[in-house]
Structure 1
Amino acid sequence: MGRSVLVLGAGMVGVSVALHLRRRGVDVMLVDRQGPGEGASFGNGGLIQREAVHPHPFPRSTAELLRIARNKAVDVSYHPLALPGFMSPLLRYWWHSEPERYLRVAADYAKLIVTCLDEHMAVARDAGAAGLLRPIGWMRLFSTQGELEAAAVQADAAHRAHGVNYAVLDSDALAAAEPHLLVRRAGALHWTDACSVSDPQALTLAYAALFTKLGGSLARGDAATLRRHGAGWQVQTSDGPAKAQEVVIALGAASSKATGPLGYAPPLFGKRGYHYHFGLRGNAVLNRPVLDVASGFLLAPMRAGIRLTTGAEFARPDAPATPVQLARAEPIARTLLPLAEKVEDRPWMGVRPCTPDMLPIIGPLPGQQGAWCAFGHAHQGLTLGPTTGRLLAEMMTGEAPFIDPAPYRAERF
């Protein structure tokens, strides 16, 4: 009998896992309540971030913590009543962000990140989607010369340690590169390796189409119905029960809802994010994504318009959307670019799945034969989808993994 696998979750990570398994001859069904790429893979900055060799640490300076505590920022917001539920994972996040511990985490994190462009391009070419990956990089804009110089020092260290490429632009060079900015900044750090994705969902859909072209199947179903079925697994779909010998849980921030009944409850927590799309007035253009460091939000040119994305919001999973960060960001964004009207009637909201040690969970699910994990990628699910897909497929099929999977094992929680 051929090998069969259910992959639960059709975001970039789940689609990539399913595709890599199918390429290895495995009978794969990809199951989600929504269509491919309709969750967190839909709304993000649209960046394949080769430069992101350092994950986002928990802030440790008193001044930064006080700024966040005021709950008036664009980049971080929280619901006060939700904080008790975040206390344990955030304390562990803070602990792992201690400088020496963080260096060890970053070393393991970078091993995944440095592969991201090659792994994406290998899939995108076969999927006919290489045109969605624009090799234009993205820029961080700085208000002062001192901030720019400090960022350049950090970028040079990343270049020497991990081969990350960058360019430093002074104020005039920035104005030439982005002539429709309405303000002058001291300069910019241009991460030149990153690819900007003009439509993140379209990229996920292209990978999913390649998966089905190779013989994989898609189904609508509810991961909450996952059960043991003999020596294998079963989940209910719109076409009835689907059964397979193995299952991969790639449900992003909702993954613990599936792993919990199986005896595994990692300290996964979600960071909400929001976005709106805007038109541009007249003949104005934005040539590449820009993050204005002083303001704390990203503006990215997309097929749908200029995408304004926010940082992180901490809220209870069932809390209604509260896009206060967008309300704070929009008037500032209008001072940076000649934005026209919003494209949508209401903002998009999604949830990033985070772990306290900033590393994803990739590998066997403890205590459950034939069950596997692929979640917890925080801000880099789009970036790391194909890398995770290849790594897990190699582990599942007995190939020698192309990088050591030990740092991402589920047993660490």
Structure 2
Amino acid sequence: MSTDSELGASVEEKIEPPSKWHDTWVRITQGNAIISVLAIVLALIVGGIMIAFTDEDVQEASAYFFARPMDTISAAWDAVFGAYSALFQGSIYNFGADSFARGIRPFTETLTFATPLIAAGLGVALAFRVGMFNIGGRGQMLMAAAGAGWIAFSLDLPFPLHMILATVVGMFCGAVWAGIAGFLKARTGAHEVIVTIMLNYVAFYLISWMLRTPGLLQAPGSSNPKTPAMKETAVFPDLLGPQYNLHFGFVLVIAATVVVWWILSRSNLGFQFRAVGINPNAARVAGIDVKNMYVYAMLISGALVGLAGVNQVLGTITTGFSADIDAGIGFDAITVALLGRSTPWGTFAAGVLFGAFKAGGFAMQAAENIPVEIVTVVQSVIVLFIAAPPLVRTIFFLPSPERDRRRQEKARQKALKAEVKAEAEGVAP
């Protein structure tokens, strides 16, 4: 009789290994990237259906659908095609422009909108990798904007020292505000979701009070809750000239993406982050100080989200800001991080995509009279499908990883039974 190890080895030899093309196909269809791409496709289809149903020409043609159905179909196609064409030309390239410089302007607007989304998304993604849910982006952006803004409009320093100091102070304020949640989780076990939500409210009302208080953030001689304009020595310089809005902040978020990638993939700190995110108990047994990892992660996360607030103050709204400076970016960053699968470069790509939605949404509304809220619906549906990979695989008839594992185990059990039966028949009298 063969031993169990010999029998197992014999079974493995009899199971035919999958072909190279099959293995490649399985890797593609079961990867996270394909789910993200297909989620975007499904969201665009849902958005197209909503555009068609809300279009006046489609509604008018649908009144006599059974008499002339092609009129309704044609009107729906024109509405959807026109809307998505406007979305593309408002975010990537305007084919109606009289020069390449004007035609490429929409893409620069996309990158401008994407800049704070990428920065904040990186902060949320890094926290995700440590097993923490940082939804305090709004508060961290507000505190960073207040710190960077105060340096930018109150001090007189030469360029680029003024810009660097404002950026560093802003990121520091964001880091400290997020670090409160990390410290409380590490020392008291307080859940970071509850703490960051409460800190959002604290930051909003604190900044609102400061904007109404002379001598703090309110512009001198003004009764409006708004800061003075940022001084030119603190403002991010234009990257492509004054005819474009793209500024130096985009270079900073590229650098931030590289730094986050290095931290998570190449540094010992990143290894500890990932270990804590996978299993904090096992990480603790391995000698990792889990509590300190929570604090460090939230500090870095808050600094990255703070960079988004700095971008808003020094790159986008340099004429002064109010309490709505965050513009919903703190919450959009959660969507960006989810779409990017909490990876640095995935988050970067997701930020550019959502920047395109923002830039193209306004063009779609202006050109086709499509409600800009449709873009928000598309973004929300993307998250819905990303959160339900089995649904996406079912819709597109993709193989399930669990089903593939069950099939392999079934084949192994079948081969094992055949081997046992053959061996039993061979030794029977």
For this structure pair, what is the TM-score category when the shorter chain's length is used for normalisation? under 0.3
Indicate the structure with greater helix content. 2
Using the size of structure 2 for normalisation, the TM-score is 0.22
Which has the larger Rg?
2
Using the size of structure 1 for normalisation, the TM-score is 0.23
Indicate the structure with greater strand content. 1
